[in-house]
A and B are shown apart, each in its own frame.
Chain A
Amino acid sequence: MSADAERGHQQRTVRCLIAKVGLDGHDRGAHVIARAFRDAGFEVVYSGLHRAPEEIVQAAVQEDVDVLGISILSGAHNTLVPKIIDGLKEYDAFEDTLILVGGIVPDEDRPKLKEMGVSEVFGPGTPMKETIEFVRENAPRRD
């Protein structure tokens, strides 16, 4: 914050996209996260259900979000997340977007996701505070 203050009267707000991608139809968790992020003072763009990877890419690029949180419960993360990451690269948006995955991801899949560029995977039962702290500490600093 003080660093920002030094840079003049700049107001920095963390912008997040909470994305539901693929076929799973449960977005209660995404709603809870969206609200918790809002209460943490973040600006949250919510994608709605059943989004295709390219829609998520379009939203992340146009909204210029600092953080992309992908919520997947259906087990399709291994096919969907790479598509999103490729799309972000295509628009030069990969480097400075913090990518998080939330939902049900088996332990053995996690290293691969991280290798791809996902910063952290948050499973069910992760305390909200932990996720918010992670975002605060790792959201890319840009100017």
Chain B
Amino acid sequence: MSHAEDRGETRVDALVSDLLDGKHRALARAITKIENRSPGYRELVSRLHAHTGGADVIGITGSPGAGKSTLVDKLAKAYREEGLTVGVIAVDPSSPYTGGAVLGDRIRMASNVGDMDVFFRSMSARGQLGGLSTATSDAVKALDAFGKDKVIVETVGAGQNEVDVVRTADTVTVLVQPGSGDDVQMLKAGILEIGDVFVVNKADMDGVNRTVAELEEMIHLRDNPGATLDSGHHGVDSGLPEGVSGHEGAQESAHDGHERENGHDGAAEAKPEENDDAPDWEPAVVETVATSGDGVGELVETLAAHADYLAESGMRERKARTRYAEEIRQLLRNDANALLKEELDRHGGAEALAEAVAARETDPYAVADEVFEPLRECVEARRGEE
């Protein structure tokens, strides 16, 4: 074990220094390691962390066919023309049956062909419950540490999982295409609630004005959804990530009070000054035709305005802290889950226990207690020693 670990660490050393030296192969390999959760990936991400924080992370989501990849391509091109380097992570769904995936977004990166300073990486969901956002944000760290100025995370806005992913960005951009449903769609919870910037793409199609009007009405109405939560005027931006940090977390820890408490503290601390000085961010609506590049300039400006807003209001730091807190919780949940899985296997595995439950020999609560008890005892004993 220790021997293997040693070797692992030397490899990580080499990978980290190659990556920081700007070697594309090392960056690609680091992301693979992160994606596969290969031995040594934790050490790798730990080592990269100190070199992060320089990139603007832009999340782009929207329904399939809204034109996300084409827009990302044009955005990347616009940033390259400003002399900035770009990293892109495109998340596509994987098959629930085979785990396989066709990752088809790269095909639309035509404007940046042969330009290695646009590092485009496809990622599949791999059916990871809650793990996708961790893997993605770790991959973002690799691109950030590599020195990319802008990192774009593109995901299909199809499920909660992906909402979590895109929320790991500093700026969340939601793409809507004209005529994508009636005004009730605008009332539904989900990705429309988390957008900092809305893009009505395919603005050369019919129904653009109506879609823009509906979006603007929605933005206006949502003025203060967070007020009933806890975080004052910044409800839109801060209330969500803080109060409801991750559906998984919300479910698991809704009653532990911990998460809530943190949300409250953060909000309470920042509240007075925020309310007085910092202006609110009113989500912007931008019209684009990604295929021709129309409106991309305006989108770049809007994204820059949001980045400025984040910097001036202090929201950038607050958001980062919220993210790190969620990351810590997620990692702890994963570790605890792994430990519990081993413990469960030691008791014969979930299937065998389920059989006993079905036969009315025992019940789920009794099983859970039995499996969990040693862990609780251990932790409590350790705590007593302190």
B338 within 8 A of A: yes
User: Do A43 and B101 form a contact, CB below 8 Å, given A10-B36, A54-B114, A62-B120?
Assistant: yes
Q: How far is the CA of A99 from the CA of B195 in the complex (A)?
A: 42
Q: In the complex the two chains form, is B114's CB within 8 Å of A40's CB?
A: no
B224 interface hit (Cβ, 8 Å): no
State the interface size on chain B (CB cutoff 8 A).
31
A47 touches B100 (CB 8 A): no
Bound complex: CA of A35 vs CA of B103, how far in Å? 11
User: Could you tell me the distance between the alpha carbons of A91 and B101 in the complex, rounded to whole angstroms?
Assistant: 26
Any A CB within 8 A of the CB of B116: yes
Interface pair B100/A40, CB less than 8 Å apart: yes
Asked whether any CB of chain A lies closer than 8 Å to the CB of B52, the reply is: no
A38 contacts across to B, CB distance below 8 A: 95, 98, 100-102
For residues 4 through 60 of chain A, which have their beta carbon under 8 Å from a beta carbon of chain B? 7-13, 15, 34-35, 37-48, 52, 54-55, 58-59
A44 is contacted by which of B37, B100, B113, B120 (Cβ under 8 Å)? B100
Q: Digit string of B314-340 for contact with A (CB within 8 Å is 1, else 0)? A: 000000000000000000000000100
Q: Is the CB of A64 within 8 A of B101?
A: no
Asked if A63 lies at the interface with its beta carbon under 8 angstroms from chain B, I say yes
Closest CB of chain A to B121's CB: distance in Å? 6
Let me know if B79 is at the binding interface, CB within 8 A. no
Is B347 interfacial (CB-CB < 8 Å)?
no
Give the complex CA separation of A40 and B101 in angstroms. 9
B39 CB within 8 Å of chain A:
yes
Cα distance A8–B1 when bound, in Å? Answer: 11
Q: Is the interface of B mostly helix, strand, loop or mixed?
A: mixed
Within 8 Å by CB of B24, from A40, A45, A54, A91, lies A91
Report if B28 contacts A (CB, 8 A): yes
CB <8 Å contact, A52 and B114? yes
Q: Is B107 an interface residue (CB 8 A)?
A: yes
B25 at the interface (CB under 8 A from A): yes
A143 interface contact, C-beta 8 A = yes
Given contacts A64-B31, A64-B32, contact A10 B37 (CB under 8 A): yes
Q: Which residues of B contact A55 (CB under 8 A)?
A: 113-114
Residues on the B chain within 8 Å of A43, using CB: 94, 100-101, 103, 122, 124
Binding site for A on B (CB under 8 A): 24-25, 28-29, 31-32, 36-39, 94-95, 98-104, 106-107, 113-114, 116, 119-122, 124, 126, 338
Q: What are 25 A-B contacts defined by CB distance under 8 Å? A: A8-B37, A10-B38, A10-B39, A11-B36, A11-B126, A12-B36, A13-B36, A13-B99, A13-B124, A37-B100, A38-B95, A38-B98, A39-B95, A39-B98, A44-B101, A45-B103, A46-B106, A48-B106, A48-B107, A62-B119, A62-B120, A63-B121, A63-B122, A64-B32, A92-B25
